[in-house]
Amino acid sequence: MSIRIEKQGQAMIVRLDNPPVNAIGHAMRLGLRDVLDQLDGGVDRVVVTGAGSAFAAGADAREFDAPPAEPHLPDVIAALEQCPVPWIAAINGVALGGGAEIVLGCGYRIAAPGAQIGLPEVTLGVIPGAGGTQRLPRLVGMKAALDIIPQGKALKADEALAVGLIDQIADDPLQAALALDLAIVSDRPAVSAMPAPGRDDEAIAAARDAANRKMRMQTAPQRAIDLVALSAELPFDDAMQQERAAFLELRQLDQARALRHAFFAERGAKAPASLKDVAPVDVRSAIVVGGGTMGAGIAYALDRAGIAVTIVENDQGAVERAGVNIARLAEAAEKRGLMSAAQSAEVKQRIAVVEGYGALPAADLAIEAVFEEMAVKHAVFSALEKALPAHAVLATNTSYLDVNRIAAVLSAPSRLVGLHFFAPAHIMKLLEIVEGEATSDVALATGFALAKRLKKIPVLAGVCDGFIGNRILTRYREQADMLLLDGATPWEVDEAMAAFGYAMGPYETQDLSGLDIAYANRKRKAETRDPARRYIAIQDRMVEQGRLGRKTGVGWYRYPGGGGKVVDPLIEDLIREEAHFAKVARREFSAGEIRERLLAAMINEAAAILDEGIAAAAADIDLVTLHGYGFPRWRGGLMHYADTVGAGAIHERLQRYRKEDPVVWRISPLIERLAESGGRFADVKPAE
């Protein structure tokens, strides 16, 4: 029943018990209703708490795609609130979503110091559906409720106490609830019977602005704000009807389905079953080769996870620059309030930076983050193999290069695994773990264990140029450049993709990262470039003119005074000149056609990646595009979006484009098969 009951004297203890996080499903709702039905005169209080380390981490989202089944949680909480026997919440761990709404229905609320309470429903595309939008503003006021609900916030126990969400903090909330003087509770009104909060138009406007900035184009946060505002205008029961209707409507929309897909994909991101019994290397110390922006970020992330780190550089000047990079990261964390000045100073002292490989500690892991050139990588790994003990796992952070060729320089290539971090490495959650032909299970398992320790989302990738993410990115950028040559402008392309949901389009993104990075990669691949594919040299000319993006104040846009972007008409002149050289008759593209072409190019390449087994599942590609490349979360990821469009419709678009260029628009065999069968990318099984 997902409920365990025990009696202690006149107290009934109700434990929510649905491992691992006590999600509130149908069985738990039935159990709570049965408790309410069976209460007798021998009980003076009901203490509700969670089994294990959680109170209840929300409703079981797996039920959202099924018709609602009685008893509904709003009705259970209403009955709990009206029960003549007082209910006391002993919040032993996280109380989120429906768990927090049960807490709000109780007459008294006691939390452990480490507990967290919040209403994160908007992050799943819905709103609190069991009274959260109505009880919370009555309990803590409209301003505080608008700070919590539309952003999906979870409050720590001390924060919850400060705003009045809980009544007490106790090391043992269950024992505190059992010892509570019931006189404290007896005269208290139920939260639903408290006076309506005063309307706060300033707080409503601030909440709308925050939702537009942080959850742009999402429906649920704005609907949540509407409902919280209603708490000041409608009687409780009338507002509850509107809350319930909104919840049931939103949970069936594409946004909610996409956000649930992303949530479950993240929960499923873990080491493959084949590694279940493989013991990873216990990484207590690590070497990072290269202290530039990426290497420093990796070293900082390792240090924050409790791993002793040494950075290796090749000369004294580079040693000093690496130290500056580490100091910059620590000081930025200090300014954001993430660490104290003393902790910042400790980080700077703790991360060692050395010149050469002569006196390295006997580390368990080494990660290279040096220039993307095979000879440079070979030199690094040859030195590492000699300098480190045999058990140490060796990892490359390469973005594009062949992991098998890198491993070939080692006498034991099984030690090498790809660990592709994303910049900034201490912030970005994605980690592509690349399995080479010789990569051992131990090296692979160590990569997944490290990802878990760093709180990153691991995605297994096979070996190819660019792995999963950068291979898709290459086609995205290629098609964007073709649109430029054929008639679009960079700002039209950027605006079209921002309207789709990206935080910024491909050209503003390139300006942010620097055009010289992609330029170096194009030069690397110049000798192997397919002569049948159109090559567009606009970016090459820009780099050669010193237009590298924000770092030089001018790229696809101008950045006067280091400020915001400004359209640069000189870029349009350059594009027209290149089109003239290429004998291209330019035409206009609508925003819809720009989006359709760019998305089709990415989906086509992603389908090939899935078909080749470079990615094990469509959900892995979704995670890469969501967490590494800014794909809008509320669309669920590239392949989830492709399934909403349908393989047949995608195939039809690609057939039209193929008439223009059969090489660039060569259709993935997987798309052809799915279009014919009516299948979904999500159902494609891993390649054998």
Residue 391 appears among annotated catalytic residues: no
Whole-angstrom distance, CA of residue 557 vs CA of residue 98: 47
In sequence order, what DSSP letters do the residues of 184-250 get, joined into one string?
Answer: HHHTPPPGGGSPPPPP-HHHHHHHHHHHHHHSTT-HHHHHHHHHHHHTTTS-HHHHHHHHHHHHHHH
Note whether 87 and 48 are within 8 A (CB). yes
Of the CA atoms within 13 Å of residue 77, those in its CB half-sphere come to: 26
Q: Report residue 316 as tokens.
A: 């004294």
Sign of CA dihedral 494, 497, 501, 502: negative
| 647 Cβ contact partners less than 8 Å away, ≥ 6 residues apart | 671, 674, 675, 678, 679, 680, 681
Note whether 124 and 215 are within 8 A (CB). no
- Determine the 3-state secondary structure of 642 from DSSP: helix
Query: Which residue, among 146, 24, 130, 15, has the nearest Cα to 79 in the 3D structure?
Result: 130
Whole-angstrom distance, CA of residue 534 vs CA of residue 529: 10
- Determine the 3-state secondary structure of 457 from DSSP: strand
In sequence order, what DSSP letters do the residues of 509-548 get, joined into one string?
Answer: HHHHH-HHHHHHHHHHTGGG--TTS----HHHHHHHTT--
CA torsion, points 518, 521, 525, 526, in degrees to nearest 10?
60
Note whether 65 and 31 are within 8 A (CB). no
| Other Cβ atoms within 10 Å of 145 Cβ, number | 31
**Phi, psi of 149, deg, nearest 5:** -70, -50
Whole-angstrom distance, CA of residue 50 vs CA of residue 48: 7
Note whether 600 and 654 are within 8 A (CB). yes
Q: Report residue 381 as tokens.
A: 């790994």
Residue type, 254: D
Q: Report residue 340 as tokens.
A: 């104290």
Q: Report residue 369 as tokens.
A: 């983050």
Residue tagged active-site, from 261, 420, 640, 651: 420
Q: Report residue 170 as tokens.
A: 């106790």
Q: CA angle at residue 453 from 447 to 454, to 5 degrees?
A: 90
| Other Cβ atoms within 10 Å of 516 Cβ, number | 17
513 burial (CB, 10 Å; 0-12 / 13-18 / 19+) is: middle
Q: Name the residues annotated as catalytic.
A: 420
